[in-house]
Amino acid sequence: MPKTMFEKIWEAHEVRENLLYIDLHLVHEVTSPQAFEGLRMTGRKLRRPDKTVATADHNVPTDGTPTAAMIKDALSRKQVETLEKNAADFGVPVYSLGSETQGIVHVIGPELGLTQPGMTIVCGDSHTSTHGAFGALAFGIGTSEVEHVMATQTLLQNLPRTMRINYSGTLAEGVTSKDLILATIGKLGTSGMTGYVVEYAGEAIEALTMEQRMTVCNMTIEGGGKAGMIAPDETTFEYMRGKAGVPENFDDAVERWRQLPTDEGATFDTEVEIDASRISPMVTWGTTPGMVIQVTDTVPDPEQMDSPADREAAIRALQYMGLDAGTPMEEIRPERVFIGSCTNSRISDLREAAGAIKGRKVADSVRAMVVPGSALVKAQAEDEGLDRIFSEAGFEWRGAGCSMCLGMNPDTLFDGERCASTSNRNFEGRQGKGGRTHLVSPTMATAAAIEGHFVDIRNWS
């Protein structure tokens, strides 16, 4: 009987019904301390340190602070130091501040070759869906589940539903995988994928690079999806080849991974068709990722919305965002620009952003920063001279971390500041209390930094 890729991975990991074996557990400082403490209180051991890896990312300053002990914020310092101690006590490898492989947990997994096709991967972080870009089943969990995985290397799970989104056609010049996923969430809504494992498929997906695919899978959770997946192919294998953690017999592994893609004739609970050639550069206007429109559109009018819940939410969102219905998106003027986060901080994101600068300068009205996703990405970018391109244009070049995506570290927006951000959430206060976030692609963020307002990247010379 034909099977979906999800079904193949699920069945290969069932210890028994509803108990799933976990191949890789990624750990960071914010959602793990209570889980480690739980192990201590019950006298349990961490079952498989060799399938676990930890890094510090959410709390770390991006100003070059070299060690956890040097973090100025006392609570952040304690949390990162607690991670280091917990990792040492339980035998877990940890890439903390100062490590040459430290970085955002969803950036370092793939770059170290830890993320591989056919695996089950979990982390106490909702953007774990990122790793599905390699044909893995990867999803975010809470701290109780983190403790469960630590103690048992398994997770209690009910069989989710499956969805496939088929993208026909190809993306137009200037339109990125960030626009593709924003447009998809705009179409399906913030809970349109709730309860589903989503497979992204079709011509437009196959044409994406691995890092572009990661951007798509990363934002699955913003549509409510449990996990996002893309079938592994030659693009996947070439990206992985030579990375530190990949199997020694790489070619044999590739032959196994070739069996993973969804079989012809396999069925999904839901199928969605999207014409990728019709997708435009997208910008969010509100306070959920589903409140998103084309950059050429105007801010929507709540009075035109059908459902009372949508109308009320839109009125609140416009008030929070300080926007009036009918304003062209291209007239909106961000004062801050953030290029970074687990969505868009990989080397190709930085290359695209730097490539769009072409000798121009950041507008006087804008403060812009670039935050590489990992210490390795930072080193690579500096080898290529990208840091100089950014610095000469007036962008701040920072150290690796989650930075202003969630403002748990010194990088935050001030009250009322408007930001063009390559991150994943435009929730109220996400980047700082009163901060106003517009989600965009790296090239759209770069253009906004230079022009001082949003522009249609397709017509930007």
Binding to another protein (CB under 8 A) within 339-358 occurs at: none
Is 117 or 202 the residue whose CB approaches another protein more closely? 117
Distance (Å, whole) CA 224 – CA 460:
33
Cβ neighbours of residue 333 under 8 Å, at least 6 residues apart?
365, 418, 452, 453
The single-letter DSSP state of residue 417 is: -
Is 45 or 388 the residue whose CB approaches another protein more closely? 45
3-class DSSP assignment, residue 154: strand
Task: Give φ, ψ of 184 to 5 degrees.
Answer: -65, -45
CB of 18 to another protein, least distance (A): 7
Q: Is 44 in the site for another protein (CB under 8 A)?
A: yes
Q: Is 69 in the site for another protein (CB under 8 A)?
A: no
Q: Is 337 in the site for another protein (CB under 8 A)?
A: no
| Binders in 431-460 for another protein, by CB under 8 A | 433
3-class DSSP assignment, residue 78: helix
CB of 209 to another protein, least distance (A): 22
| Binders in 399-428 for another protein, by CB under 8 A | 406-408, 425, 427-428
CB of 440 to another protein, least distance (A): 19
Is 23 or 330 the residue whose CB approaches another protein more closely? 23
Cβ neighbours of residue 383 under 8 Å, at least 6 residues apart?
none
Site string for another protein, 255-294 (x = CB under 8 A): ---------------------------------x-x----
Count of residues for the chain?
461
Q: Is 103 in the site for another protein (CB under 8 A)?
A: no
Q: Is 145 in the site for another protein (CB under 8 A)?
A: yes
**Identified binder of another protein from the candidate list 37, 206, 233, 396, rule CB under 8 A:** 37
Q: Using the rule CB under 8 A, give the single segment among 24-32, 267-275, 339-347, 349-357 that binds another protein.
A: 24-32
Do 314 and 305 touch, CB atoms closer than 8 A? yes
| Binders in 194-223 for another protein, by CB under 8 A | 194-195, 221-222
Q: Is 322 in the site for another protein (CB under 8 A)?
A: no
CB of 355 to another protein, least distance (A): 32
Do 285 and 323 touch, CB atoms closer than 8 A? yes
The single-letter DSSP state of residue 407 is: T
Q: Using the rule CB under 8 A, give the single segment among 122-130, 264-272, 346-354, 447-455 that binds another protein.
A: 122-130
Do 186 and 222 touch, CB atoms closer than 8 A? no
Is 250 or 460 the residue whose CB approaches another protein more closely? 250
Site string for another protein, 148-177 (x = CB under 8 A): x--xxxx-x-x-x-----------------
Q: Is 190 in the site for another protein (CB under 8 A)?
A: yes
- Residue 50 parent element (H or E): none
Q: Is 226 in the site for another protein (CB under 8 A)?
A: yes
Closest alpha carbon to 71 in 454, 386, 408, 310:
408
What is the SS3 string spanning 225-258? ECEEECCCCHHHHHHHCCCCCCCCCHHHHHHHHC
Q: Is 245 in the site for another protein (CB under 8 A)?
A: yes
Cβ neighbours of residue 71 under 8 Å, at least 6 residues apart?
59, 60, 61, 65, 77, 80, 97
Paired tokens of 50: 């060799």
CA-to-CA dists, residue 207 to 202, 230, 255, angstroms: 9, 12, 21
CB of 103 to another protein, least distance (A): 14
Q: How many residues bind another protein (CB under 8 A)?
A: 85
Paired tokens of 156: 């209690």
Is 335 or 428 the residue whose CB approaches another protein more closely? 428
